[in-house]
Amino acid sequence: MDRRKTVLEIVNKNPGIRFNEIMRVSNIRNGTLSHYVKKLEDDNSISLERTPRVTRLYPVGISPEKAKICKYLTKSSHKKLILFLLKKENATSVEIRNFIKKSPSVVSVNLNQLFKEKIIKKQYDIPSNKYSLKNPKLIEEILNEYYPK
Protein backbone atom coordinates (compact mmCIF):
# COMPACT_ATOMS: atom_id res chain seq x y z
CA MET A 1 0.00 0.00 0.00
CA ASP A 2 1.39 3.41 -0.83
CA ARG A 3 2.02 5.98 1.89
CA ARG A 4 -0.79 8.29 0.83
CA LYS A 5 -3.34 5.51 1.32
CA THR A 6 -1.69 4.53 4.61
CA VAL A 7 -2.01 8.05 6.01
CA LEU A 8 -5.61 8.38 4.78
CA GLU A 9 -6.54 5.02 6.33
CA ILE A 10 -4.99 5.99 9.68
CA VAL A 11 -6.88 9.32 9.71
CA ASN A 12 -10.18 7.67 8.74
CA LYS A 13 -9.84 5.10 11.53
CA ASN A 14 -8.60 7.61 14.14
CA PRO A 15 -10.29 10.98 13.72
CA GLY A 16 -8.57 13.69 15.73
CA ILE A 17 -5.25 11.85 15.65
CA ARG A 18 -2.21 14.01 16.21
CA PHE A 19 0.43 14.42 13.52
CA ASN A 20 3.15 12.97 15.80
CA GLU A 21 1.00 9.92 16.53
CA ILE A 22 0.68 9.23 12.79
CA MET A 23 4.48 9.42 12.50
CA ARG A 24 4.82 6.90 15.33
CA VAL A 25 2.17 4.48 14.02
CA SER A 26 3.17 4.60 10.36
CA ASN A 27 6.97 4.91 10.69
CA ILE A 28 6.85 7.71 8.13
CA ARG A 29 9.35 10.48 8.80
CA ASN A 30 8.27 14.06 9.52
CA GLY A 31 9.09 15.62 6.12
CA THR A 32 7.59 12.74 4.16
CA LEU A 33 4.45 12.72 6.30
CA SER A 34 4.12 16.51 5.90
CA HIS A 35 4.25 16.03 2.12
CA TYR A 36 1.46 13.42 2.10
CA VAL A 37 -0.67 15.34 4.61
CA LYS A 38 -0.40 18.46 2.42
CA LYS A 39 -1.40 16.47 -0.68
CA LEU A 40 -4.38 14.91 1.14
CA GLU A 41 -5.44 18.33 2.44
CA ASP A 42 -5.13 19.86 -1.06
CA ASP A 43 -7.27 17.00 -2.47
CA ASN A 44 -9.89 17.63 0.27
CA SER A 45 -9.42 14.06 1.51
CA ILE A 46 -8.71 15.18 5.10
CA SER A 47 -9.15 18.30 7.20
CA LEU A 48 -6.65 19.69 9.67
CA GLU A 49 -7.00 21.52 12.95
CA ARG A 50 -3.88 23.50 13.69
CA THR A 51 -3.33 24.87 17.17
CA PRO A 52 -0.06 25.94 18.78
CA ARG A 53 2.19 22.87 19.04
CA VAL A 54 -0.58 20.43 17.95
CA THR A 55 -1.93 19.46 14.54
CA ARG A 56 -4.90 17.11 14.47
CA LEU A 57 -6.20 15.34 11.38
CA TYR A 58 -9.81 14.41 10.63
CA PRO A 59 -11.60 12.60 7.82
CA VAL A 60 -13.20 15.03 5.41
CA GLY A 61 -16.88 15.62 6.10
CA ILE A 62 -16.80 14.98 9.83
CA SER A 63 -19.06 17.47 11.60
CA PRO A 64 -17.47 20.04 13.91
CA GLU A 65 -19.40 18.56 16.84
CA LYS A 66 -18.10 15.04 16.15
CA ALA A 67 -14.57 16.37 15.56
CA LYS A 68 -14.63 18.13 18.92
CA ILE A 69 -15.67 14.94 20.72
CA CYS A 70 -13.12 12.83 18.80
CA LYS A 71 -10.40 15.26 19.87
CA TYR A 72 -11.14 14.49 23.51
CA LEU A 73 -11.54 10.76 22.89
CA THR A 74 -7.89 10.70 21.79
CA LYS A 75 -6.77 11.93 25.23
CA SER A 76 -6.67 9.08 27.75
CA SER A 77 -7.94 10.81 30.90
CA HIS A 78 -10.68 12.64 28.97
CA LYS A 79 -11.68 9.39 27.29
CA LYS A 80 -11.88 7.55 30.63
CA LEU A 81 -13.99 10.37 32.04
CA ILE A 82 -16.36 10.38 29.04
CA LEU A 83 -16.70 6.58 29.08
CA PHE A 84 -17.36 6.63 32.83
CA LEU A 85 -20.13 9.23 32.41
CA LEU A 86 -21.55 7.23 29.50
CA LYS A 87 -21.83 4.19 31.76
CA LYS A 88 -22.84 5.95 34.99
CA GLU A 89 -25.00 8.74 33.46
CA ASN A 90 -24.09 11.25 36.18
CA ALA A 91 -21.37 11.44 38.80
CA THR A 92 -19.64 13.77 41.21
CA SER A 93 -16.06 14.87 40.74
CA VAL A 94 -15.03 12.59 43.63
CA GLU A 95 -16.60 9.56 41.92
CA ILE A 96 -14.89 10.51 38.67
CA ARG A 97 -11.55 11.03 40.42
CA ASN A 98 -11.79 7.63 42.12
CA PHE A 99 -12.59 5.95 38.80
CA ILE A 100 -9.96 7.56 36.56
CA LYS A 101 -7.35 7.61 39.35
CA LYS A 102 -6.08 11.12 38.73
CA SER A 103 -5.42 13.98 41.12
CA PRO A 104 -8.26 16.39 42.01
CA SER A 105 -6.58 19.14 39.98
CA VAL A 106 -6.36 16.97 36.82
CA VAL A 107 -10.00 15.92 37.19
CA SER A 108 -11.03 19.55 37.71
CA VAL A 109 -9.15 20.72 34.62
CA ASN A 110 -10.60 17.88 32.51
CA LEU A 111 -14.14 18.56 33.73
CA ASN A 112 -13.77 22.28 33.04
CA GLN A 113 -12.44 21.65 29.51
CA LEU A 114 -15.29 19.28 28.67
CA PHE A 115 -17.83 21.65 30.23
CA LYS A 116 -16.44 24.62 28.29
CA GLU A 117 -16.65 22.58 25.07
CA LYS A 118 -20.28 21.68 25.94
CA ILE A 119 -19.56 17.94 25.92
CA ILE A 120 -20.69 17.57 29.52
CA LYS A 121 -23.18 19.45 31.64
CA LYS A 122 -23.05 20.35 35.28
CA GLN A 123 -25.92 20.08 37.74
CA TYR A 124 -25.30 22.35 40.69
CA ASP A 125 -26.05 20.40 43.83
CA ILE A 126 -25.10 20.45 47.49
CA PRO A 127 -22.65 19.17 48.70
CA SER A 128 -21.13 18.29 45.32
CA ASN A 129 -21.94 19.15 41.71
CA LYS A 130 -22.99 16.32 39.40
CA TYR A 131 -21.72 15.93 35.87
CA SER A 132 -23.31 14.15 32.93
CA LEU A 133 -22.87 13.94 29.17
CA LYS A 134 -24.75 16.53 27.16
CA ASN A 135 -25.40 14.18 24.22
CA PRO A 136 -24.69 10.53 25.16
CA LYS A 137 -26.32 9.20 21.96
CA LEU A 138 -23.90 11.17 19.79
CA ILE A 139 -20.95 9.87 21.81
CA GLU A 140 -22.20 6.28 21.46
CA GLU A 141 -22.58 6.85 17.72
CA ILE A 142 -19.00 8.18 17.47
CA LEU A 143 -17.64 5.29 19.54
CA ASN A 144 -19.42 2.74 17.34
CA GLU A 145 -18.33 4.43 14.11
CA TYR A 146 -14.70 5.34 14.88
CA TYR A 147 -13.68 3.40 17.99
CA PRO A 148 -15.30 -0.03 17.75
CA LYS A 149 -14.39 -2.47 20.53
Q: Strands (DSSP E) along the chain, which ranges?
A: 17-18, 46-51, 54-59, 90-92, 120-123, 130-133
What pLDDT, in 10s, does the model give residues 53-83? 888 999 988 898 999 999 999 888 999 999 9
Residue 125: which CATH number?
A: 1.10.10.10
**Rounded mean pLDDT of 77-104?**
91
pLDDT at 1: 59
49 and 115 both lie in a single domain: no
First to last CA, the chain: 25
Q: Which residues contact 109 (CB under 8 A, 6 or more apart)?
A: none
pLDDT for 22-56, tens place per residue? 999 898 899 999 999 999 999 988 998 888 888 89
The last residue of one of the domains, among 15, 39, 61, is: 61
At residue 127, the pLDDT reads 81
Which of 61, 82, 102 represents a domain boundary (last residue)? 61
pLDDT at 84 over 90: yes
Last residue of a domain, one of 61, 87, 107: 61
Contacts for 28-32: CB closer than 8 Å, 24+ residues apart: 28/3, 32/3
Q: How far apart are CA 56 and CA 82, in angstroms?
A: 20
* 47 and 80 in a common domain: no
The reply to whether 55 and 75 lie within a common domain is no
Full-model pTM: 0.84
Over the stretch 2-14, which tens digit does the pLDDT of each residue have? 888 999 999 998 8
Looking at the fold, whether 74 and 142 belong to one and the same domain comes out as: yes
Residue 98 sits in the same domain as residue 134: yes
Structure confidence at residue 149 (pLDDT)? 66
Instruction: Compute the distance between CA of residue 118 and CA of residue 134 in angstroms, rounded to an integer.
Output: 7
Q: How many domains does the chain have?
A: 2
Per residue in 106-133, pLDDT (tens digit) is 999 999 999 999 999 999 877 888 999 9
Q: Do residue 97 and residue 140 come from a single domain?
A: yes
Q: Which domain holds residue 114?
A: 66-146
